[in-house]
Amino acid sequence: MITSRLRTLRDHIRWAVSRFHGEDLFFGHGTDNAWDEARQLVLGALHLPWQIADSYLDCNLEEDELVHLQRLLKRRIEERIPTAYLLGEAWFCGMSFIVDERVLIPRSPIGELIENRFEPWLDAPPARILDLCTGSGCIGIACADEFQNAEVVLADLSFEALEVANQNIERHGVDERVYTVQGDGFDGLQGQRFDLIVSNPPYVDAEDFADMPDEYQHEPELGLVCGDDGLDLVRRMLAQAADHLSEKGLLIVEVGNSQVHVEALYPEVDFAWLDFQRGGHGVFMLTAQQCLEHQAVFASRV
């Protein structure tokens, strides 16, 4: 597929950019353009840092490196496998996470909120945090890194996803205060309350899923799709959130393009839709008081 005239890192990055454009690949699993995708794959395949001196790009590759890199490039192009799965690694909030096809690739705009410590909405650092529908554990573990005195629970329906989350807990050395719970929604969390509940649940509706690029077909459907309008789990989450938030707790949930369905389903609820400087949309915030005030409404529409 790739001729022997490609010898250096720069050669392979340039070639990959051209092929990625020519093959109409989709970028949305950590990068948003062909250049960044090519650089991530080429450097990541050879265990080189993103911030590498420009002169290193002109280094020749060893034969075994050429074979390995060209195999990954071939799979990215022909099989449409996202780069993060090919490398077994994704970055979120400046942290490295193990990923494979048991979990979604981290890309939530909630990362920007974590880096800003959820200011100005949190009155005080949270003592207990819940990452609901945790997948790889990236959101909860990033919260644990930002709030180093907090206990963090990572909850998910998928045993396979929690296996990956536990690997990431070990990778980041936070096993003394971060742990996993298996269950559907709030199942397995009876009687527990949290100062902050953050969730990136499955929220893709049936119509959107049918139109998604091939790259998404490598991700677990359980982590993407949730009913005709994408809100099957979100409905239950809203109905039960008041029972799991502390008095001044916050609920933050990403629903992406299903924002329109949320607004249509609950016109009487004043959701705070959050803005992001680095892109992203469809993330709402509710206070514990709002969750309690509207609990009957939420319960009536499950």
CB 9 within 8 A of CB 70: no
The neighbouring-strand residues paired with 196 are 129, 250
CA distance 46 to 281: 34
**Residue carrying structure tokens 């929220």:** 203
Q: Please indicate, yes or no, if residue 36 is contained in any of the structural domains.
A: yes
Q: Please indicate, yes or no, if residue 2 is contained in any of the structural domains.
A: no
Q: Please indicate, yes or no, if residue 213 is contained in any of the structural domains.
A: yes
CB 77 within 8 A of CB 25: yes
Same domain, 25 and 152: no
Domain at 214, CATH number: 3.40.50.150
Q: Which domain holds residue 246?
A: 94-300
Angle at 114 (CA atoms; ends 111, 116), nearest 5 degrees: 115
Task: Give the end of a domain, one of 19, 53, 87.
Answer: 87
Q: Please indicate, yes or no, if residue 1 is contained in any of the structural domains.
A: no
Same domain, 141 and 83: no
Of 151, 159, 149, the C-alpha closest to 178 is: 151
Same domain, 45 and 98: no
Same domain, 106 and 239: yes
Continuous H helices in the chain: 9-22, 34-45, 63-78, 83-87, 110-115, 138-146, 159-171, 206-210, 232-241, 259-265, 288-293, 295-300
Same domain, 20 and 43: yes
pLDDT tens digits for the chain (302 residues)? 555 688 999 999 999 999 999 999 999 898 999 999 999 999 999 999 988 999 989 999 999 999 999 999 999 999 999 999 999 999 999 999 999 999 999 999 999 999 999 999 998 999 999 999 999 999 999 999 999 999 999 999 999 999 999 999 999 999 999 999 999 999 999 999 999 999 999 888 777 777 889 999 898 887 888 777 889 999 999 999 999 999 999 999 999 989 999 999 999 999 999 999 998 899 999 999 999 999 999 999 99
Task: Give the end of a domain, one of 87, 116, 141.
Answer: 87
CA distance 178 to 166: 9
Q: Please indicate, yes or no, if residue 188 is contained in any of the structural domains.
A: yes
Residues in CB range of 101: below 8 A, 6 or more apart: 85, 218, 219, 220
Task: Give the end of a domain, one of 50, 66, 87.
Answer: 87
Q: Please indicate, yes or no, if residue 147 is contained in any of the structural domains.
A: yes
Query: How many domains does the chain divide into?
Result: 2
Q: Please indicate, yes or no, if residue 15 is contained in any of the structural domains.
A: yes
Same domain, 224 and 134: yes
Same domain, 69 and 153: no
Same domain, 256 and 132: yes
Does residue 186 sit in helix, strand or coil?
coil
Same domain, 150 and 207: yes
Name the helix (H) or strand (E) containing 273: strand 272-273
Same domain, 83 and 111: no
Q: Please indicate, yes or no, if residue 4 is contained in any of the structural domains.
A: no
Same domain, 120 and 266: yes
Same domain, 178 and 156: yes
